Amino acid sequence: MSAPAWGIVAVFETPAEILRAAEAVRDAGYRRFDVHTPFPVHHMDRAMGLRDTRLPWVILGMAVLGCATAVGLQGWAMGKGYPFILSGKPLFSLPAFVPIIFELTVLFAAFGAVFGMLAFNRLPALYHPLFKNRPFSRVARDGFFIVIESSDEKFKAEDVRKLFESLGAKEIEDVHD
């Protein structure tokens, strides 16, 4: 039996089964697998062995960059580019810069959140091999699926099938690209 082009998908019936199966797949040493359910299953991230997201650090970095950009731009404009004394105030007046600092900090943080989320989730994904899989059309209604990708270093089609069978999968199918 030759290895499938993209991976193997298994169908389970209940949230408890999919949670137990995700833990077993993680414990078996697979790293390139995903779980698809019609609704969030509590503790699935722990069962899959997912680490915390790095997105807050991206957002913080972009917020600091926005703050520095606002201070730098206003400092240059008022101090060097267009020095103009208003009512005897100093050229570099931090209290006057606060609204723009706040706005650029929030703007850059929002861009960091949106584009960081897109990058970490590898979006936009206009096509995925699972879209052509017949049982996978149930995922939005009542399907609980685990997919192990053939790009996983531990992937062997026979071993994956045996693992899914031992976990009580209702259907097991190859996913071709």
Question: Model confidence over 36-87: pLDDT tens digits?
Answer: 999 999 999 999 999 999 999 999 999 999 999 999 999 999 989 999 887 8
Is residue 59 assigned to a domain? yes
Element (H, E) at 12: strand 7-12
Residue 61 and residue 109 share a domain:
yes
Is residue 100 assigned to a domain? yes
Residue 62 and residue 78 share a domain:
yes
Residue 63 and residue 102 share a domain:
yes
Total domains in the chain come to 2
Q: How many angstroms from the chain centroid is the CA of residue 91?
A: 44
Residue 103 and residue 61 share a domain:
yes
Is residue 137 assigned to a domain? yes
For the chain, what is the mean pLDDT? 93
Residue 115 and residue 59 share a domain:
yes
Look up the domain containing 102 and give its range.
Answer: 55-120
User: How many other C-beta atoms are found inside a 10 Å radius of the C-beta of residue 38?
Assistant: 14
As given in the structure block, the two tokens for residue 116 are 């960081």
In the chain the first and final C-alpha atoms are separated, in Å, by: 17
pLDDT per position as a tens digit, 136-172: 888 888 889 999 999 999 999 999 999 999 999 999 9
Average of pLDDT values for 91-99?
91
Q: Tell me which of 101, 120, 139 is where a domain ends.
A: 120
